[in-house]
Amino acid sequence: MPHGWIILDKPIGLGSTQAVAAVKRNLREAGYGKKVKVGHGGTLDPLASGVLPIALGEATKLAGRMLDATKTYLFTVRFGTQTDTLDLEGKVVAESELQPSQDEVEAVLAHFTGPIEQVPPAYSALKVDGERAYDLARAGVEVELKSRSVTIHELGMDAFDAQEGATLRAKVSKGTYIRSLARDIALALGSRGTVTMLRRIQAGPFEASQAIPLDKLNEVGKGAPLEQILLPLEAGLDDIPAIDLDPEQARAVRQGRVLTGMPHEDGLYCAKEGTVPVALVELSDGNVRVSRGFNLIDVAE
């Protein structure tokens, strides 16, 4: 049974759910049947491309953690118009003749770096009275969403074109909407803005250099070895330290028991027996408690 990550370079036009379905289809065609658990680590809109981590098997236990991870995007803001969806899919709802210069754009970016308040787009998957905001918006209902606190860790200029606008690079916290960020940057400049390009280049520990195109994924369904595209489960934990367990300690952790007297600093760790991940654990005052256990004994045997 495969356990690990497929990092897909999601193309424009494909939704995250469709991407997961494509992985499941290729696994079935490769002879794995329907038993493999598959999930994704962070939604990407159909109009966005880039890094989409897809978890297989025991790695699905880390998908929630991936949703909370920082992410980095490249996006282009074209000034002068604003659509109802804040991207090219929508209709123009506001216009401005003001076209800010590169220096003016660069000067305003500092105001959007660090903790900020942000109102999500009306066309988002957030729920309002039990309904998805984008469903209400498409039905013509005026959607009012509350502002939320997010953090923009890094924000800088990647390129500038007088006609096409500014291409920016943003490293952001969970819950950040890039389309809202683009809207607010344009408004702060006295203009209007629409996102014309959106690409995720990093999600948690995964980067664009690790992502495979859809064609490469489809080769698995035609007989290519899954191992050529599958990253190990612990690749999703590259940003946290590991602690080594002896066989007795590993047995105790697998049974959910607390280990005591571990000489490590407090924090989150990946507990391993040899090369096999045993569990994601929290260490406090020398005590190790299981946060997420992995059923990978078959890998070690």
Whether 231 and 6 have beta carbons less than 8 Å apart is answered as yes
**Pairwise CA distance, residues 283 & 301, whole Å:** 27
**Pairwise CA distance, residues 4 & 228, whole Å:** 12
Q: Which of 45, 87, 239, 298 is an active site residue? A: 45
At residue 226, the 3 state secondary structure works out as helix
Residue the block writes with tokens 């000034």: 79
Whether 254 and 298 have beta carbons less than 8 Å apart is answered as no
Whether 197 and 178 have beta carbons less than 8 Å apart is answered as no
- Measured CA angle at 69 (ends 63, 72), to 5 deg: 120
Nearest to 188 by CA among 283, 108, 260: 108
Q: 161-199 burial by CB neighbour count: b if 16+ within 10 A, else e? A: eeeebbbbbbbbbeebbbbbbbbbbbebbebbbbbbbbb
Q: Please confirm, yes or no, whether 45 is among the known catalytic residues.
A: yes
Nearest to 14 by CA among 218, 180, 232: 218
| Cα-based distances in Å from 298 to 83, 251, 260 | 52, 14, 27
Whether 9 and 212 have beta carbons less than 8 Å apart is answered as yes
Positions marked active-site: 45
